Copies of this chain bind each other. A is one copy, B any other.
Amino acid sequence: MPIGTQNKPLQTVMWEAGKVRLIDQTALPEKLQYVEYTDWRDVAEAIRTMVVRGAPAIGCAAALGLALGARGIIADGRESFLRRVTGIADTFRAARPTAVNLFWAIDRVLAAAAETEGNPVDLKDAMLVEALLMLDEDIETNRRLGQYGAALLPDPVNVLTHCNAGALATVGYGTALGVVRAAVEAGKKVHVYADETRPRLQGMKLTAWELARDQIPVTVIADSMAASLMRQGKIDCVIVGADRIAANGDTANKIGTYGLAVLAQHHNIPFYVAAPLSTIDTKLASGLQIPIEQRDTVEMTHIEGIRIAPEGVDVINPAFDVTPGELITGFITEKGVLQPPFGSEASVPALPSEGQEETEAKETVTA
């Protein structure tokens, strides 16, 4: 069944009439509602509180938020403007520590300002244009990586995914779920197992919701059920997103990803990371250097505002873990299925011509 026969494709991050408009992901799956921001500080807070989440979506929301903040600056001149823009950028950078796309996006919008000649009005325009370009690029990137990934999948296929690396984690279409969508569009029969992803249940609340909305078959499981399904031969491959990828391929992603990678290796199941190149942090030699966000333990002790844990018991809540690059079968990017080490731009292969795409994707993985 074609995608979107009943529903418009989701767009998670938008610019509308001078406002940043986001899908409120804390309201899903009960209701699909949008929130609009006219104050950049509220956009930063929306990132912190996970109204918007997912590395690429965070990046684009921050880019738009920074452009929004810039528009509000009343500055005497160019230097004063740039100084104040940098202050806003720092607030966005502090919103969440792990996903590198946030820093990448902020840097790109700042560079657009710095590289533009003229007065603050010109710089504001350049920043917004750059942010909007990034939104368009994000969807295009996901469609491209989706095609590379889809070529890797058998038909029929049972895909296990963790957390949400879907339309809701990006501007649209998704990374891991972009691969799923592209496979469905290519006519493959795809069934997804979605780990519920404690503590915040993004797999149950977001991944299952957005796949069901697109009529893609999905079954929600507790995180602890994945191993048993693998042993029963019910999982053909694992595809996850990423929050930051080090030069050696070590990958930070939602807590629980590392365990899945170990389990996949034990069961000889391919384990793919689907992410745009902007998620690769070539400055980091290994995953040891990736900062891991520790979130409020109330996410563990309470669900829907109700306490589920005994009072006074110690709880931890690391939001991410790091999967060693050697456990990852391939990195599905907009430039093909890559292998570490990831160095400078030069080491990234050139875009293949149309006819070569599928072949290259397959070769890279069987290599």
Which residue numbers of A lie inside 8 Å of B, CB to CB? 29, 162, 195-199, 201, 204-205, 208-209, 212, 217-228, 231, 255-256, 258-259, 262-263, 265-266, 300, 303-304, 306, 308-318, 321-322
Contacts and interface: CB of A to CB of B under 8 A. Distances in A.
B310 A208 contact: yes
Contact of A316 (B201, B225, B262): B225
A196 B303 CA distance: 13
Count of this chain's copies in the oligomeric assembly? 2
B318 A225 contact: yes
User: Which of A197, A204, A311 lies at the interface centre, i.e. has the most chain B CB atoms within 10 A of its CB?
Assistant: A204
Given A227-B321, A306-B304, A220 B259 contact: no
- Determine the main DSSP class of A at the interface with B: mixed
A191 B95 CA distance: 33
Nearest to A309: B204
Contacts of A318: 225, 228
Contact of A220 (B212, B228, B315): B315
A222 B254 CA distance: 12
Contacts of A266: 262, 265-266
20 contacts: A29-B310, A195-B224, A197-B224, A198-B224, A205-B308, A205-B309, A209-B313, A212-B312, A219-B316, A220-B316, A222-B255, A223-B224, A225-B255, A225-B318, A228-B258, A228-B322, A262-B262, A262-B263, A263-B263, A304-B304
A227 B196 CA distance: 17
Contacts of A313: 204, 208-209, 212, 218-220
Contact of A222 (B199, B209, B314): B199
Contact of A218 (B29, B226, B314): B314
